[in-house]
Amino acid sequence: MTDKKLIIKFLSDNLTIREKNIFEQKLNSDFNFKNEFEKLNSSLLTMKKCNNISIDETYFINLLAGFKIKTGNKTYRIFKPALTLVSTFTIAIIVVLIVGQNSDQPIINPKLSVSDLTDQEVSYLVDISPEELSNGKNSYKNINENLSNLLTIELEISSESIALFYEDVETIASSISVNEAEQIYNELINKEFFQRGVK
C-alpha cells in the first residue's frame, strides 16, 4: 500500500485497529510520511475554508418572502375555485372597510380584518362547503349571492350600499395596489379553510 493510500484510509476511518497502530508508529518515526500526511491534510483544510466565503446575505433575508409568494402561486394552480372565492371575498372586505367608514348604519360585527376571522367564521359567512368548492360546483354568481348575504344580513350594510358596491366593483379592484392585494390574499390563503384543498 502506498503512503498516500494509507493516509486516505486513515482519514476515511477505513483502518483496522492493528493498521491504525502501524500508521501512528510510522507517523512518529518516518519524517517523509509525516510530511506527506501534513501536506494532504493541509490541502483538505484549504478546501474546507471555502465554507467561510463571503456571500450576499440578502438572498437568505429575501428567501422567505420569495417562498411565500411561490406558495401562493402553487396554491393558485392547485386550487382555482378557492382563488375565485378569495378574490371576490377580498373585494368584499375592502368594500366593507370603505362602506363602514362612510355609512351611518351601525355595523354589528366589528371584525373588519380578515386576520380577525376564525376559520369557522370564514366558512360560515361564505356558506360554501370545502367539498363543493373543490368540485367547482359553485358558480361565480352563487359566490356573489353568498357575499351579498354576508354584507346585508351578517354585517347589516344597506342594500343601496351593496348596489353601489356591485357598480363600482371594477373601480375598487383596480384601486387596490398589488402589495395590498397580495397581503390580503396571503392572509386569506393561510387560513386553514383554504389550505384544505392543498393538503
Partner 1 sequence: MTDNSKDFELVNKYLSGDEIAFNRIVNKYSKKIYWHARRMTGNHFDADEIVQDVLMVLYRKLDQFKFNSSLYTYIYKITVTRSLNFIKKEKIKRLFFIDSKLNSINNSEHDIIKGILNKEKLERLDKHLQKLPAKQREVFILRHFEEMSYEEIAEITGKSIGGLKANYFHALNKITKMTNYD
Give the footprint of partner 1 on this chain (CB under 8 A): 4-5, 8-9, 11-14, 39-40, 43-44, 47-48, 50-51, 53-56, 59-60, 63-64, 66-67, 70-71, 74, 190, 192, 198-199
CA distance 93 to 96: 5
Minimum gap (Å) between residue 70 Cβ and partner 1: 6
- Of 73 and 142, nearer to partner 1 (C-beta) is 73
- Of 63 and 173, nearer to partner 1 (C-beta) is 63
Minimum gap (Å) between residue 8 Cβ and partner 1: 5
Minimum gap (Å) between residue 119 Cβ and partner 1: 9
For residue 118 the three cell numbers come to 376564525
Sequence-distant (≥ 6) Cβ neighbours of residue 13 within 8 angstroms: none
Minimum gap (Å) between residue 179 Cβ and partner 1: 18
For CA atoms 62, 64, 68, 70, the dihedral sign is positive
| Residue whose C-alpha cell is 358596491 | 165
- Of 20 and 74, nearer to partner 1 (C-beta) is 74
Q: 70 exposed, middle or buried (CB, 10 Å; 0-12, 13-18, 19+)?
A: exposed
3-state secondary structure of 114: helix
- Of 14 and 139, nearer to partner 1 (C-beta) is 14
